[in-house]
Every structure is written in C-alpha cells, then in structure tokens.
Structure 1
Amino acid sequence: MRPKAYSYIRFSTPEQARGDSKRRQLAAAREYAIKENLDLVEEAGHIFLDEGVSAYKGKNRSDASNLKLFLDYVASGKIEKGSYLLIESLDRISREDVAAALPRFLDLLNADIVVVTLSDSMVYRKNPDLGSLVYSIVQMGRANAESVQKGDRIAKVWRNKQVLAREEKRPLGRACPYWLEYKEGRYCVIEDRANVVRRVFELTTQGYGQIQIMKLFNWEEVPVFGSASRNKSRLWGKSSIAKILSNRSVIGEYQPTGLIDGIRVTLGEPVKDYYPAIVDENVFYAASAARQQRAVTQSTKQAANFNVWSKVAICTKCRSPMHLVNKGPSPKGGRYLRCSAGVKGKCDNRSVRLDYAEEMFKEILAKLNSSSLVEDTRKQKDQKLAETKGRIVAAEKKLAELVSLVEEAPSVMLATLIQKKESELDDLKSLLEEEKISSSMQEVIDKGEFFDRLDVMSYEGRYAANLYLQRLDIKVAIKNDSKEIMFVAIRKEMPQFGILKVMANAPIYIPLGIESLKAVINQEDVTSLAVPYSKERLFEVLNKVSPEAALKVEAQGVDRLAKIPLDAEIKEKLLESFGLGSQKERT
C-alpha cells in the first residue's frame, strides 16, 4: 500500500490569494506525489490551507489554523505514522526565530511524519542526520531574517506615511474606512455606506442597542461592509455595529498607532479633519453617552413598553431598587412596582400599582420643569448633554491609556499629557453640571399643555423621559403604607420635593426647595399644597395675598392651602411673597 501524503499550503497576503500561490503549491505537491508513488489525499478536510495567515508570529499555529488541525490529526492518530507532509519550503511552517521554530519542526519528525520541502527536494525524517539538521536550521534562520527585514522596511515606510499624514494630512493610500474610497489622491465618501453609518448613530441615540440594530439591518437586508472572504455569512454582527460606533474616523479623525513590545498603542493625539466627516461630533458623543448609559443600566429594547421607572425608583425604607412585576390579569392581578429586597422577604414596603406610579411620574416631570422633553429644542438640548457626557467618556479612556503608558515607561512628556487631560476632564465635568442645571430650569407654566404634549406612550418617548431623570441624577424614593403613597424626588442625596397620593384623591404637593415651590405655584397646584413652613409664615403670606383664603385655612385649622381663585395677579403676589420673584421678571 502506498504511503499517504498531505499538502500544507500557506500564504499571508491578499495579493498572493489573488495570484498563483495556491495553484503553484498544490501543483508541486501533486507532481512530487506522482514521482515518488505517494497517495496524495485531496478529499474535503484533508487539504490543509491557511489563506492570509502569517507564520512570522506563529499565527498559523493558532487553534483556528489548518496547520494546528493537521497536528491534531497526527496526535489523534487520524493521520497515520509514516505519512508525508508536502510543503513548498520550511518557511511555510514557520518564520519565527530558530529557537521557536526548531522544536515545532522536530515535533513533526518525532511523530513519524516525513516532511518534504518541494522547492529544494529535501526530505526530513525522524532522527535526521547532522547535515540535514544543520541545513534545516540555516533555512529557518534565513526565513526569520527575511521576515524581520521585511517587517522593518514596512514599519519604516508606514512611520513615514504617518508623519506625512500628521504634518501634511497626506492620504495613507487605499487603506481607509469602509465608507470611504481612495480616488485621484484623495478620500471620497461612498454615500450609500455613509448613510448606513449615520443610521447606526441615529438608532443608538434613540435607545436601540447593538443587537437590535444588527437584527434590524439583517431583516432589512442592508448590505454589509467588507469582502466576502472576511464576512462569509454576509450578515451584520454585533461587533460590526460596535466598531462603527467607536470609530472616530466618522468625525474625520485619524489616530496613528504602532506596536510597542508587541502591543498596539496609540501614538500621539489624533489628527483632526483628516478624513471627510460623515457624522457630526455632537451626534458621535451623544451615541457614546447612550452606549455608556445602556452599559450602566443594562437596559435593552426587548420590551415594547419601556419601564419609565427603570434605575430611578428606589424603596424609601431600605433604598433597594423598585422593580416592575406582573401579578397576572386584572382585576386581582396587574403590574406593580415592588421593592427588590421585598421579593426576598427583606423589606415590608408594599407594592405600588403601576397606573398610580405612572400618573405620579408625569407629575414629577412637571415639578422638575422638564419642558425640554416637549420643546422643539429638546433634541438639541439632550444632544448637548449627551455630547458632553460622551466627551467625558472619551477623555477618561484616553487618560487611562496615558496612565498605563507612564506606569510602563515614565517620561516628562507623558506626565505633561496626563496633567493636560486631567484639566480637560475637570472642565468637562463642570460644563456637564452647568448644562444639567440649564436643561432642568425651563419652567412648566401650563401643566395641562405640558401633559398633552408629553410622550409617555411610545417606546422612544418613555425612554427619553427616563433618561432625562437619570441624566439629572434623580432618584425617586417610594413608600406605600396601604393608606397613602409617598413619592420623594432626590438629587444627590438631597430631597427636592414630595408628592403624597391618597388613593383616588388628588395628589398633595410638598415642596422642599425654592424651585419646587415655584413650580407648584406656576402650575396652579396650590389647592393641594402642603407647605413645610411654620404656620406663622404661612398666614403671613396668605394675609398679604388673599385674606379670604387665610380665614378659610384658619377655620379648618390645617397647614394646607384651601381653594383660592388663582388668577395671574394672585400668582404674582404669591411668588413675590415667598421671595421668589415675579414671572414677569423671569421672562
């Protein structure tokens, strides 16, 4: 019976794939097999081919390589001892240095595999003679030296290109983002692909996650980027969406990189306005902030009806998150907010019916003066906030990279860059606080109109309202003692206002600061106002504004304002009496 022979073919570049490399190596194997009367196995799964795989760093030995598959077949006995491995030359197996390459070569021989190099007709067997061994070492040394020299030449050429790119913004060549093409010495936008990229960012800022965008694109059969050899399924993947969202080339930046001790690192600051920008910076950073928010809250767009209380509602008693639970169909069932610790028997706070809670959610938005949610400028204001958050995320990431580099190789230059980045980060955080305050200070005057225009029905509207509260760092502590439910809005551990809901009765508003008191008065909710001031102060104000109302309150003996006709003049007097300034002054 003739000995079996197997061919191993490897080439490392796309140009070799398009050329004659594969046919040439396979033809040489067939010719040798005929000449030496070997049975060349060419059935599926037994032609070992590594396309586009380099042997310089041993990548052709990775778990995904066909050389590794051949070695596994040898180890398992699927390939018999005494079989032949036909290769063009020893550099097909390895271009690593001799110390790394020689043991792997000897492992093949010790497994009783006969290695044949077709270019020089050398045959290597188990226990090779000294001459053959020395010859193989020389060939391995030559292959490694060629790879080192080639790598150095390419690195020098690439470094020169990077210098010219930074100093003159000269194009690097055809290597560019998928939505661009290199034509007549410059980069041009491929509009069809650029529109796909823009849509990825738009969907992300609307609350869609990478998996949802991936599924949507595959369902719509949106053409994928890249060649069929890189993406054989021709389908979008989650990683494809993630790479687009993190690629600063979309805003025109080019970030030079290089290898330091085998690790790819960024080299210097990015080159701005290098590529044609296809996405506005504010959209890029808004999407970055949305991704960060999703990562923190772990929110997904699986449900058709987004939970507006997600990451906002907490239990007053134990400070645990309040989660949405479904107790089955009405009338006994329904959807509720329940303390997460209560589920485990660690808290006795009662559940709150979701319809009551969502009614109070709208009231909370009104008292927080969330008019930006319904104003025509809402998107611009939200994007400005998101842009600043995105810049903070990018600055923190860059700072972490610089700190990591200075720990490995301390230098004055890196220390200066760290100091500069820390200062930039402090400025961005201050700006974010100013924008949060500015965003939340648009007063809601007509609450009825605000509720009419507020969208808490659609997914996008509910997501936007929830995200608005999260961006303001608002938590709402909820307590249900069966007779009444208390909702307290808290920002940075400081209570802002409370709303008391006594079943079917109108809510009672408890302002705990100037802004919330102004909101109650402006929105004409003084008929249900519980003022946390002394009785003397209350009557002092009421007597100035409406002696009739003061008499009614005194007769009832409660610290709650009775019904008073709240015309514009009385509203102005109330604001002035509490030292809040008139509406006219604010406008």
Structure 2
Amino acid sequence: MPSAYAYVRYSSTVQSSGDSVDRQTSPLKAFTHETGVDVVETIIDEGVSSFRGDNANKGKFKEVLSRIDRGIIRHGDYLVVESIDRITRQRVLDGVELLQSILKKGVRIYTTTDSRCYSYDDPDRDFETLIMISLIAKRANEESEIKSRRRKSAWNKAKLAAAENGKKFNAHNPPYGYRYDGVTDQFVIVEDEASEIREIFKLLKTMGVSNATRQVNLNSKRKWTSRHVALMIENKYPLGMLMSQKRNEKKEKVFIEYIEEYYPKIISQTSFNDAVSSMRSRKDRKYYGNTTIGSTNIFRHVIKCAVCGETMMFEKQKNQKGVMYPYFHCFTRKELKGQCDQRFRFDLAFGMLLQAMLVMQSNVPSGIRRGRIELNKEEIKRWAEIKQQASSFDGYIFRRFKVNPDELSKRRNGMAVFGNDLNSFLSDDKTSQEALGGELAAATEVLAGLRAKYENFEKSIDGYEGKIPMFIIKNMGNLEAAIDEQIVLVDKLSSEYGSSVTDIKLTTYEDVVERFRTEQGRLELNQFFKASGIQFKFKYDRTARGIHMWVSRSGQEILSLSRKFPFHKPLADFGIPRLADLYEQI
C-alpha cells in the first residue's frame, strides 16, 4: 500500500501570517478521497525560497530528497504539493532535472491545484509529462525573476531615499534596541534594550565576548550570543548606521555603504572603537601570563621580578595547613628550575598597592616616599645588608628621588596618572582639569567619527567594482583634510590635559578595595594598569619577611616602597581580615 507525503513551502514571513499553509493543506482530504491514499506526514518549509534552489540545498526539502534516495519514501509513494512551483522555481533545465530525479526513483508527484499526477511508470506519457513540467517550471521561474527585479528596484529606491533624506523603509523589523514611531516616522531607542547594548560594549573593553554575553544575560530581555555581538559590530547599527548591501553574480552579499544617522545613536563612536580595539588586542595578545578564574590577578601582564626581571606567574596553591592561597612566583623559578627563588603570597602584592595609595594620600615631601616596617635588631641588620641604597631610622626605610626640575616633573606626572587620572593629589585645580578632559573627550569623539566615515567610504569602494562615483572621491578628500585638522586639535588638548588614558579614578586605598570586590572591578583595575603603562616590580626577602615594590610608568620609576606585613592577617591594617573573602564572592 503506497503512502503520501505532503510538502508545503512558503518563502516570506508575510505568508506565514496569512493563509499560505491552510491553502496548501486543505486539499489533502480531497487527495485521499480521490486516490484512497492517506497522507502520513506533512513537511513544511518555512520562509525558504525555491527560486535559487534553497529548499533543495538547505531546507526541509533537502531531507525529503535524502529520504527518497535512501528508500524511506519508496517507489509508488506520492509527493503531494499544491503546484510544481512549490518544489522548484529554478531555471528550466535545473528545475526539470530536479523533478525528473524524483520521478525516476518511482515517486509520483501529485499537484492539488489541477489534480494531476506525474509518474515515471507510464512511458506513453513521457513527452506530455516533460512538456508540462517544463512549461510550469518556466512560468514559475519567470514569475520569480520579475518579482526579484521588482524587489531589487524597490529596495534600491528605498535605500536611496534613506541615504538622501532619511526615509525609513524597515519599520516593521527594526534592530534590537529600537522601535518605530509611526507618528514621527522615526526610530526611537528602547532604553532597557539599549542599556544591554551599552553594557556589552563596556564589558568588551575588559573581557571576551563569551564572558560579556554571559554577564549581560543574567538580567537581559534577550539571550545574547557571540553571533549577535559579531553582527552588531559588523553592521554598526548601535552607531546609528544602516548597512547597505547587494548580491553579486554569485548571489553573495556584497557591502555597498553605511547610511549614517539612520537610527539614533545608542553608543558613541569612541566607545565602539575602544571595545573593538580591545577585542583585537586580546586576539593578537603577545603577553605571557595566565587567565585566572574570577580575574583575581589584577597585576596580570604588569608585574615583574625585581631580582631577575622576568615575569611573575600567578597560581593558587595550598599551604602547609591545606588552605588555598594565590601566590606569585618568578617564571625562572618554575620553568628554569630554581634560577630565581622569588615567591610570595598575592596578599602581599595587593597590600603594597594599598600602601602605595596611602603614601600618595600622605603629606610626604615630593622628593621622598616612605613605608613603615616593624623590625627587630636582627632584621634591621639583615635589611642593611640586602638594601645598601636604603638607610634605617626608627623603623622607616627612606628612598630619596633625584629632585632636579625635569626629574621631579616626570615623577609628578607619573604619580598623578597612577593615583588619579585628573592629577587629584598633586593639583587643586580639578575644575579646569575636568573641563579640559571634557573638551578632549568631545574632540576625540569627533575625530573617531571622521575616521569611521572615511573607513566607510573606503569599504564601499569595493562595491562599485572600479567605477567610483565622483562624490565619493570628493567626500574622501574633504574628510582627509578634516581628519588632519582634528588630529592637531586632539594632540593639543592631549598635551594640555596630560597623559591620562583611562577613566578609572583611584584616589584612596578604599577605591582599590571597592573595585577588587567584583570581577568587573578587578578587570578594570588590570586594564587601567596596562593602559596607563604601569609596571610593578617586587622583591621579597624571606629572612626579614619584608617586601619591596617599585612602580614605573612608561619606563620612568615613580614610586619605591618597602614594608613588612604580619604573617597572619597581613592586611588587617586596611580592614581586611582575609583577602579571599573579597574575591571568593564570585
């Protein structure tokens, strides 16, 4: 007994909300009544075209063809369709070849619109069958060609209207973060969705796409994926742009141009550039070091051994009592088997960072930085032996800086960046500094926008296949001149503002502790050190149980501190009984 398999296809989302499926399935009862064959399965291809053979290449119909090849749909079974054009709208030779391949396997094709059955089992009707399927395939292909040309023409007109006067043409399907307002004929920002997009770009400055989407998805309306982020960066719609494309001869999408100011901006060009730049730098990373769970290691890529100059590696190990602690050890100690014996707990490095913040808050003269250590007589003697450049006095270790004007100026600038991006502890003129910082940010945003426009024109040139319109050449020339002028302005403002490169503000040691409480804060601290060119060097002396720290910025030493911490609860002076209580909250 033969079986029948109904195949239903529609190619657009508009048809899905209409009667396309009902229209194609309602005649199935009549087919069964006429032939006596039951329809055992209805296979639906949703939103798949047969014009280019998509249904046979990647749609549900591909599985139908596979089942015919494997004999699951057998000789004598029926493939029931509304019309031949449900199976194919390809050019005649391709369409007829596809239909013949089905018929030659003994599967009959039944069309409900005209109650006609096409079969390979009746050789006397071969010519009639060939003529009929050829004529129907030809008509279907021509209809699709006409529709395609009309759609292309309408699409091109709509894109031209959008580029010239901002006319909206995709009101029914705006991207995430926007909705269409029919009264004003404009797109408006959906704030709760836009806040997710802003958060993603903020997170991308300090973490990878997977971690960023994981964190945003904790409270988001949609479930973000890496693909969502990649498409958002490619089409640049959060910048207010509409990406215009066309299909080439191979039916591949080819970029034409970005239509600017089509949507309202969700993020600034600077934020977009910073996120993309950070992603690229992580991709091309040449640093040596480990990624830590929870990003505990805020010194990642910025810490060196003061004894041999090699990288300090971060790892977690159990002490003699079985308690897990994070440690730093010199690269040569582990990899080269003991050439350098430097190894100390992470808590001590973090404590020295907090001590540095205390020092910069203090009123110690600009040429001197100091740190207090508690020493017994034997330890004082030991420190005198290992630190000849230092002198001991009442439990203090002093390190004197050269105080010639140039050197002092460099140290002031360096420490200002380390402690506060607006020179908070060396300058009282914060208002003018903040105003200047605002000017610099605005000028940098303008420059980023000009460069983005120029890059968009460069990218669109490929789409014109060598025939570059004169208006593009003219606009690129004007942009080059504008970019040069803006670079001069940005350089001038940068020189006046100082060399701050990040918006993180660290004024007190409490600021550091507060940021260290969250993974995002720890990532921001590490990003701040790297962006600011900050490098730390540590030397630990086991006998005296003291640690020395040198801080430099862009190769210029700005701070030197020495201190001894208690063996138990080393950070108690900073109100931290146990550092792990902060980073183990994750």
Instruction: Quote the offset at 1:146 in angstroms.
Output: 1.2
Equivalent residue number for residue 369 of structure 1: 416
Q: CA separation in 1, counterparts of 2:36 and 2:460?
A: 62
SS of aligned partner of 1:334? strand
Q: CA separation in 2, counterparts of 1:20 and 1:340?
A: 70
SS of aligned partner of 1:205? helix
Q: CA separation in 1, counterparts of 2:307 and 2:462?
A: 42
Contact 1:256 / 1:270 at 8 angstroms: preserved in 2?
Answer: yes
Deviates more, 1:477-486 or 1:321-330: 477-486
Instruction: Quote the offset at 1:84 in angstroms.
Output: 1.1
Equivalent residue number for residue 80 of structure 1: 74
Deviates more, 1:103-112 or 1:386-395: 386-395
Equivalent residue number for residue 32 of structure 2: 33
With over 3 angstroms needed to count, the CA separation of the structure-2 counterparts of 1:442 and 1:254, relative to structure 1, is closer
Contact 1:294 / 1:300 at 8 angstroms: preserved in 2?
Answer: no
Contact 1:201 / 1:245 at 8 angstroms: preserved in 2?
Answer: no
**Which of 180, 191, 195 is matched with 1:198 structurally?**
195
Q: CA separation in 2, counterparts of 1:156 and 1:346?
A: 71
Instruction: Quote the offset at 1:396 in angstroms.
Output: 9.1
Contact 2:534 / 2:551 at 8 angstroms: preserved in 1?
Answer: no
Instruction: Quote the offset at 1:346 in angstroms.
Output: 8.1
Residue type at the aligned position of 1:25: Q
Show structure 2 runs of 5+ residues with no match: 361-413, 425-429, 566-586
Equivalent residue number for residue 569 of structure 2: none
Residue type at the aligned position of 1:327: Q
- Structure 2 residue 55 is matched with structure 1 residue 60: yes
Show structure 1 runs of 5+ residues with no match: 225-234, 506-587
Deviations 1:246-301 (A, max 9, x none): 654334333433333333334345232x3344445555555555555665669999
Instruction: Quote the offset at 1:157 in angstroms.
Output: 1.2
Q: CA separation in 1, counterparts of 2:500 and 2:297?
A: 25
Residue type at the aligned position of 1:80: R
SS of aligned partner of 1:369? helix
- Structure 2 residue 459 is matched with structure 1 residue 401: yes
Equivalent residue number for residue 99 of structure 2: 105
Equivalent residue number for residue 562 of structure 1: none
Equivalent residue number for residue 327 of structure 1: 317
Residue type at the aligned position of 1:358: F
Residue type at the aligned position of 1:271: E
Contact 2:302 / 2:530 at 8 angstroms: preserved in 1?
Answer: yes
With over 3 angstroms needed to count, the CA separation of the structure-2 counterparts of 1:429 and 1:4, relative to structure 1, is farther
Q: CA separation in 1, counterparts of 2:553 and 2:44?
A: 63
**Which of 554, 557, 564 is matched with 1:497 structurally?**
557
Equivalent residue number for residue 91 of structure 1: 85
Deviations 1:521-544 (A, max 9, x none): xxxxxxxxxxxxxxxxxxxxxxxx
> Size of the alignment, in residue pairs?
478
Deviations 1:101-157 (A, max 9, x none): 333222222322212222233333338613311321222222122111111111111
Identity over aligned pairs, percent: 22
Residue type at the aligned position of 1:19: G
Q: CA separation in 1, counterparts of 2:423 and 2:449?
A: 26
Higher relative CO (Cα under 8 Å, sequence separation at least 6) belongs to 2
TM-score (norm 1): 0.66
SS of aligned partner of 2:259? coil
Residue type at the aligned position of 1:259: R
Residue type at the aligned position of 2:297: N
SS of aligned partner of 1:41? strand
Contact 1:201 / 1:284 at 8 angstroms: preserved in 2?
Answer: no
Contact 2:256 / 2:459 at 8 angstroms: preserved in 1?
Answer: no
With over 3 angstroms needed to count, the CA separation of the structure-2 counterparts of 1:165 and 1:404, relative to structure 1, is closer
Contact 2:235 / 2:242 at 8 angstroms: preserved in 1?
Answer: no
With over 3 angstroms needed to count, the CA separation of the structure-2 counterparts of 1:119 and 1:364, relative to structure 1, is farther
- Structure 2 residue 237 is matched with structure 1 residue 239: no
Instruction: Quote the offset at 1:474 in angstroms.
Output: 4.8
Give RMSD over aligned pairs: 4.6
Residue type at the aligned position of 2:40: V
Equivalent residue number for residue 4 of structure 2: 5
TM-score (norm 2): 0.66
Q: CA separation in 1, counterparts of 2:94 and 2:486?
A: 50
Instruction: Quote the offset at 1:216 in angstroms.
Output: 5.1
Equivalent residue number for residue 517 of structure 2: 458
Instruction: Quote the offset at 1:81 in angstroms.
Output: 2.5
Q: 5 Å matches for 1:129-528? A: 129-175=126-172, 176-178=174-176, 179-184=178-183, 186-189=185-188, 193-202=190-199, 204-205=201-202, 207=206, 210-212=209-211, 214-215=213-214, 218-220=217-219, 222-224=220-222, 235-241=223-229, 243-244=231-232, 248-261=236-249, 262-272=251-261, 274-289=262-277, 291-292=279-280, 303-304=293-294, 306-313=296-303, 322-329=312-319, 334-338=325-329, 343-345=334-336, 348-349=339-340, 350-361=342-353, 367-370=414-417, 371-372=420-421, 398=456, 401=459, 409=466, 411=468, 441=499, 450-454=508-512, 455-459=514-518, 460-474=520-534, 487=550, 489=552, 491=554, 495-497=555-557, 504=564
Deviates more, 1:196-205 or 1:302-311: 302-311
Contact 1:85 / 1:113 at 8 angstroms: preserved in 2?
Answer: yes
Equivalent residue number for residue 43 of structure 2: 48
SS of aligned partner of 2:516? coil
